[in-house]
């Protein structure tokens, strides 16, 4: 991670950002960047020692308050503690729903218990945390929710279907929350990283060096682009996509299907009599 120094902040706090999965990778860089913007932090993950080291560094370097909230988000009691914090702490203005894991392999060959843990971490946890934040932010008519999805939401053929499915869920949830919470003054952004140089790859059993370098983004560049997308008011940020019109065209095509997806009658191709055999 690039830890280029910034002088301790004298800016007023922007409130508190609660970041899940802050002990490494994307979450740790969000913590760094948000601290330098003037947010106080609540850092969530399992590895308390790593979180404490990061919190200490950011307190020294950025002059913010940084608290460690050690939690295994696949554990219902730990998850409930984080939800309660989101509901009870009115200083929290930003939730980065980032903690996640991947499991390599086909459905038939993957460790199915690991797949279940992944669904708990990538789907259930961000859902419950988003719900807690949605209630709190909507009541205050302010707040920002950032959900870390993945470009694999769009291309399930490129990795495991289960991981891709969890990220498609995050994208769909985000799209729906934007409609639900936007009118109540709450910003919601989906971030869709492509392959990014973090520990997730080695942890999932797909070594980073197996990936073509041209596909791999450095984590600092990824988070800086995601925050630039947030600043620009983007609903969905795809950091590596230059041709943003391609994404907009896909969205337009998806929305154009809307009026035709639920009708009283089946399409005529399903009701025509089969052609007689020659």
Ligand X SMILES: NC(=O)c1ccc[n+]([C@@H]2O[C@H](COP(=O)([O-])OP(=O)(O)OC[C@H]3O[C@@H](n4cnc5c(N)ncnc54)[C@H](OP(=O)(O)O)[C@@H]3O)[C@@H](O)[C@H]2O)c1
> What are the residues binding ligand X (CB under 6 A)?
21-27, 45-47, 50, 71-74, 98-101, 121, 148, 150, 193, 195-196, 198-200, 203
CA angle (73, 204, 58) in 5-degree steps: 55
Smaller CB separation from ligand X, 101 or 138: 101
Q: Minimum distance between the CB of residue 6 and ligand X, rounded to whole angstroms?
A: 22
Cβ neighbours of residue 42 closer than 8 Å, sequence gap 6 or more: 16, 17, 18, 19, 66, 67, 69, 85, 89, 92
Dihedral in degrees, nearest 10, Cα atoms 34, 195, 46, 131: 70
Smaller CB separation from ligand X, 23 or 174: 23
Smaller CB separation from ligand X, 95 or 200: 200
**Euclidean distance between CA atoms 152 and 215, whole angstroms:** 13
Smaller CB separation from ligand X, 29 or 136: 29
CA 174 to chain centroid, in Å, comes to 9
Q: Minimum distance between the CB of residue 208 and ligand X, rounded to whole angstroms?
A: 9
Q: Minimum distance between the CB of residue 264 and ligand X, rounded to whole angstroms?
A: 40
CA 64 to chain centroid, in Å, comes to 24
Catalytic annotation present for 163: yes
Residue 42 near residue 27, CB atoms below 8 Å = no
DSSP state, 129? H
Q: Which of 30, 163, 169, 270 is catalytic?
A: 163
Smaller CB separation from ligand X, 128 or 140: 128
Strands (E), 65-221: 66-70, 92-97, 144-148, 187-191
Of 221, 161, 165, 169, the residue nearest 196 (C-alpha): 221
Q: Minimum distance between the CB of residue 12 and ligand X, rounded to whole angstroms?
A: 28
SS3 assignment, position 1: coil
Residue 100 near residue 148, CB atoms below 8 Å = yes
List residues with catalytic annotation: 163
């Amino acid at each position: 991670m690039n830890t280029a120094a910034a002088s301790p902040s004298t800016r007023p706090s922007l409130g508190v950002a609660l970041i899940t999965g802050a002990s490494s990778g994307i979450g740790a860089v969000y913590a760094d960047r948000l601290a330098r913007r003037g947010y106080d932090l609540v850092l969530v993950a399992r590895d308390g020692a790593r979180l404490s080291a990061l919190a200490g560094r950011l307190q020294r370097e950025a002059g913010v308050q940084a608290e460690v909230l050690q939690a295994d988000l696949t554990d219902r009691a730990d998850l409930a503690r984080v939800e309660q914090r989101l509901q009870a702490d009115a200083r929290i203005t930003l939730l980065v729903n980032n903690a996640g894991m991947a499991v390599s392999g086909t459905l038939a060959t993957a460790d199915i218990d690991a797949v279940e843990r992944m669904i708990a971490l990538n789907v259930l946890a961000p859902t419950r945390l988003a719900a807690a934040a949605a209630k709190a932010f909507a009541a205050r008519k302010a707040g920002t929710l950032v959900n870390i999805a993945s470009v694999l939401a769009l291309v399930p053929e490129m990795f495991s279907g289960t991981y891709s499915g969890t990220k498609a869920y995050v994208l769909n949830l985000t799209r729906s929350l934007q409609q639900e919470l936007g009118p109540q003054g709450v910003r919601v952004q989906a971030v869709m990283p492509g392959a990014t140089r973090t520990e997730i790859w080695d942890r999932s059993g797909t070594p980073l060096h197996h990936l073509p370098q041209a596909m791999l983004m450095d984590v600092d560049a990824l988070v800086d682009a995601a925050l630039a997308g947030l600043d620009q008011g983007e609903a969905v940020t795809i950091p590596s996509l230059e041709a943003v019109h391609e994404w907009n065209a896909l969205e337009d095509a998806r929305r154009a299907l809307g009026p035709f997806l639920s009708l009283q009658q089946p399409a005529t191709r399903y009701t025509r009599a089969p052609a007689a055999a020659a």
